[in-house]
Every structure is written in structure tokens, then in C-alpha cells.
């Protein structure tokens, strides 16, 4: 997994609440057996018309936001299905960070497995960053995960909370499975106890 430490990038504003994973990546793109290549279909139905042409008014189609690496969105971002294709599509497009007031649990969790930082900030602070991204698209948003800070070009800054274990894994790009396998003895003894006490399992 790619580590996440700092990021200075254009932020694309998507002022919508309840952006669901069907919007992020519609089901017809879930037939893949790979993790890559989904970026072109990120937000497919909002981004393209029925003939497959770009809709010019969609934020990621606007020239000033095409190279965005940060997405700013409304509450309950990523609700719906557990499809990890949603963060895969976000990452494949080139976005490394989402800023929103709240997230759906499964999506939030999936981000960390893919080197994406989901920053959670109070509504009024997200509103401020949203406005900044809308009014000064050329300005960058700066994220520092170590110090848990989002900073704007005008030096306004916002600090965010994050679970220390997730932060540690993200900063170091750690593979969860490798970490867990180090506890193999504990798993084995748990299984042995179980076989003894709950033989029907």
C-alpha cells in the first residue's frame, strides 16, 4: 500500500450529501477482476451523458479541477454498498484524500486499506474548505497527516482527529495481513480453546 504523509493539491468541491457508492462507481464496472483501471468511470453517471460524452458542468470535467487530488464533499459520504471498487476508482482517478463532515463506516474503513486519507471535519469547517475550493480553484489545500492538519494557502488551518492505529498504518504504508500474521500464535490458541468449548462451531 502506498504510504500517505503529506499532500499539497487542488481540491475539487462536490457539495452533495449522501454521495453513495453506486454514484462513485456504478455496478456495471464491478465486473472486473482487477483493482486498477476504474478511474475513468469514477462518478460515471454524473460525469458522462448517455452517449459517453463528458458533461462539462460536472466538477471533475472542469479544466481547473481535472488534476485535483483532494475531494471535498457533504455528509455521509460513501454510503451504501461495501464495494472497495469505490476507493479503487477514487485512487485510480488520482484522488488521495477526501474531506467531508462524515462518512459511511465501510467506505471509511476501505479508504485506509488503499492509502486514501478520509479527513473528517466539522460541517462549518468543511463548508469553509468547500467555499475556498469553489472560489479559488487554483489554490492548493495542504494536508499533513503526521500533524493532523489541513491548511489553506491563506494559512487558515483545521486540525482533524484520526485513530492512532490507522494513522500509523497509513503513514508507513503497512499491510494489515502481515501485521496480523505476526499474531498467529494467539489465533491458533483461540482456535484451540474454541474447539474445546464450542465444539459445534
Q: Which is nearer to other proteins, 3 or 17 (CB)?
A: 17
CB of 128 to other proteins, least distance (A): 15
**Shortest Å distance, C-beta 150 to other proteins:** 20
**According to the binding rule CB under 8 A, does residue 3 interact with other proteins?**
no
Distance (Å, whole) CA 137 – CA 79:
27
What is the C-alpha to C-alpha distance for residues 178 and 58, in angstroms, rounded to an integer?
40
Q: Where do the DSSP E strands lie in the chain?
A: 6-14, 70-73, 97-100, 117-120, 140-144, 149-152, 157-159
Binding of residue 131 to other proteins (CB under 8 A): no
Nearest distance in Å: CB 99, other proteins: 15
DSSP element (H, E) containing 184: helix 184-197
Looking only at residues 21 through 50 of this chain, which bind other proteins when binding is defined by CB under 8 A? 22-23, 26-28, 30-35, 45, 50
Q: What is the maximum alpha-carbon separation in the chain?
A: 64
Q: Which residues sit opposite 144 in a β-bridge? A: 6, 149
Decide if residue 18 touches other proteins (CB under 8 A): yes
Beta strands in 108-190 (DSSP E): 117-120, 140-144, 149-152, 157-159
Asked if residue 195 binds other proteins (CB under 8 A), the reply is no
**Nearest-approach distance from CB 112 to other proteins, in angstroms:** 9
The whole-angstrom distance between residue 37's C-alpha and the CA centroid of its chain comes to 17
Among 147, 163, 172, 173, binds other proteins (CB under 8 A): 163
Q: Rule CB under 8 A: say whether 165 interacts with other proteins.
A: yes
Q: Collapsing DSSP states into helix, strand and coil, what is residue 196? A: helix
Binding mask 143-162 for other proteins (x = CB under 8 A): --------------------
Task: Specify the residue for cell string 476508482.
Answer: 89
Do 140 and 12 contact (CB within 8 A), yes or no?
A: no
74, 97, 117, 145: which one contacts other proteins (CB under 8 A)?
A: 74
The reply on whether position 79 binds other proteins by CB under 8 A is yes
Binding residues (CB under 8 A) for other proteins: these are 15-18, 20, 22-23, 26-28, 30-35, 45, 50, 74-76, 79-84, 87, 102-106, 109-110, 113-114, 163-165, 176-177, 179-181, 183, 186-187, 190-191, 194, 198-201
Amino acid at each position: 500500500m502506498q504510504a500517505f504523509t503529506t499532500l499539497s493539491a487542488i481540491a475539487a468541491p462536490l457539495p452533495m450529501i449522501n454521495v453513495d457508492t453506486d454514484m462513485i462507481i456504478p455496478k456495471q464496472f464491478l465486473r472486473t477482476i482487477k483493482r486498477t483501471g476504474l478511474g475513468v468511470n469514477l462518478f460515471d453517471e454524473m460525469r458522462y451523458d448517455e452517449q459517453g460524452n463528458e458533461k462539462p458542468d460536472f466538477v471533475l470535467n472542469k479544466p481547473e479541477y481535472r488534476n485535483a487530488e483532494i475531494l471535498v464533499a457533504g455528509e455521509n459520504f460513501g454510503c451504501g454498498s461495501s464495494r472497495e471498487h469505490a476507493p479503487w476508482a477514487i485512487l485510480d482517478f488520482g484522488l488521495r484524500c477526501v474531506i467531508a463532515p462524515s462518512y459511511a463506516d465501510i467506505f471509511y474503513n476501505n479508504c485506509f486499506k488503499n492509502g486514501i486519507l478520509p479527513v473528517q471535519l466539522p460541517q462549518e469547517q468543511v463548508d469553509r474548505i468547500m467555499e475556498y475550493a469553489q472560489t479559488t480553484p487554483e489554490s492548493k489545500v495542504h494536508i499533513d497527516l503526521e500533524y493532523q492538519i489541513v491548511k489553506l494557502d491563506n494559512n487558515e488551518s483545521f486540525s482533524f482527529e484520526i485513530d492512532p492505529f490507522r494513522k500509523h498504518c497509513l503513514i508507513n504504508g503497512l499491510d494489515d495481513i502481515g501485521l496480523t500474521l505476526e499474531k498467529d500464535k494467539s489465533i491458533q490458541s483461540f482456535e484451540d480453546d474454541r474447539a474445546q468449548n464450542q465444539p459445534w462451531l
